[in-house]
């Protein structure tokens, strides 16, 4: 899990960025680069696109420095921007359906990580199949459910934060998340 620590310090850093302190922006980037890129990667499932979108997210953060007000948690604000950017990209991709995915490229990368434990060819193939099924199951979720699951499962955002990001009530998020996990359970039941 990729916990995001010290939220109050994030807001302070952002206020310092507003005052022209560039090193504070560097600290925010250092702290949130990974979670944002990984969230976007799991949303769009393409490394090049996810990094491009993450650049857009941090660029928007930088552009907003003069108007930034710490009314919400920094991570909520940051993930709201990231989710907005991701949902736009997914919507645009649906329009251009049929463009080539770079999934294969990533599967190769994941395979190499597993190779450290020297699995057999058969184990590698099983792992690859399972990974593909998980990715497909997540990809098949409606975009909002997908974003909620990714923030809940991998970024450790709580219900209130996810509600803040997606602009819903907490109770709506609870049922949305639970529906998403039930859908995933049904799709991945054969893997258990």
Residues interacting with other proteins, by CB under 8 A? 1, 26, 29, 33-34, 37-38, 41-42, 47, 51, 54-55, 58-59, 62-63, 106, 109-110, 113, 127, 130-131, 134-135, 138, 149, 152-154, 158-159, 171, 174-175, 177-178, 181-182, 184-185, 188-189, 191-192
Smallest separation (angstroms) from other proteins to the CB of 95: 25
User: In angstroms, what is the minimal distance from the CB of 184 to other proteins?
Assistant: 5
Which CB, 66 or 69, lies closer to other proteins? Answer: 66
Query: Quick one: 58 or 77, whose CB is closer to other proteins?
Result: 58
Name the packing angle between helices 170-187 and 121-139 (round to 10°).
Answer: 140
Contact 27, 131 (CB under 8 A): no
Q: How far is the CB of 90 from other proteins (least distance, A)?
A: 17
Give the nearest distance from C-beta 24 to other proteins in angstroms. 14
Question: At its nearest, how many Å lie between other proteins and the CB of residue 94?
Answer: 21
Cβ closest to other proteins, residue 3 vs residue 121: 3
- Smaller CB separation from other proteins, 98 or 162: 162
Name which of 9 and 153 has its Cβ closer to other proteins.
153
SS3 per-residue string spanning the chain:
CCCCCCHHHHHHHHHHHHCCCHHHHHHHHHHHHHHHHHHHHHHHCCHHHHHHHHHHHHHHHHHHHHCCCCCCCHHHHHHHHHHHHHHHHHHHHHHCCCCCCCHHHHHHHHHHHHHHHCCCHHHHHHHHHHHHHHHHHHHCCCHHHHHHHHHHHCCCCCHHHHHHHHCCCHHHHHHHHHHHHHHHHHHCHHHC
């Amino acid at each position: 899990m990729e916990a995001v620590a010290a939220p109050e310090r994030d807001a302070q850093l952002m206020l310092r960025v507003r005052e022209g302190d560039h090193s504070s922006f560097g600290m925010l980037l250092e702290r949130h680069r990974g979670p944002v890129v990984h969230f976007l990667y799991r949303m769009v499932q393409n490394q090049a696109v996810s990094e491009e979108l993450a650049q857009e997210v941090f660029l928007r953060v930088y552009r907003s420095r003069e108007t930034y007000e710490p009314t919400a948690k920094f991570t909520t604000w940051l993930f709201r921007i990231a989710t907005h950017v991701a949902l736009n990209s997914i919507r645009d991709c649906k329009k251009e359906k049929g463009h080539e995915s770079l999934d294969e490229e990533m599967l190769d990368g994941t395979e190499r990580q597993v190779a450290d434990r020297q699995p057999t060819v058969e184990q590698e193939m099983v792992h690859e199949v399972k990974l593909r099924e998980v990715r497909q199951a997540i990809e098949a979720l409606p975009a909002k459910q997908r974003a909620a699951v990714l923030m809940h499962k991998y970024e450790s955002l709580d219900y209130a934060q996810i509600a803040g990001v997606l602009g819903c009530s907490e109770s709506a998020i609870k049922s949305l998340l639970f529906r998403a996990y039930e859908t995933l359970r049904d799709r991945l039941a054969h893997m258990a």
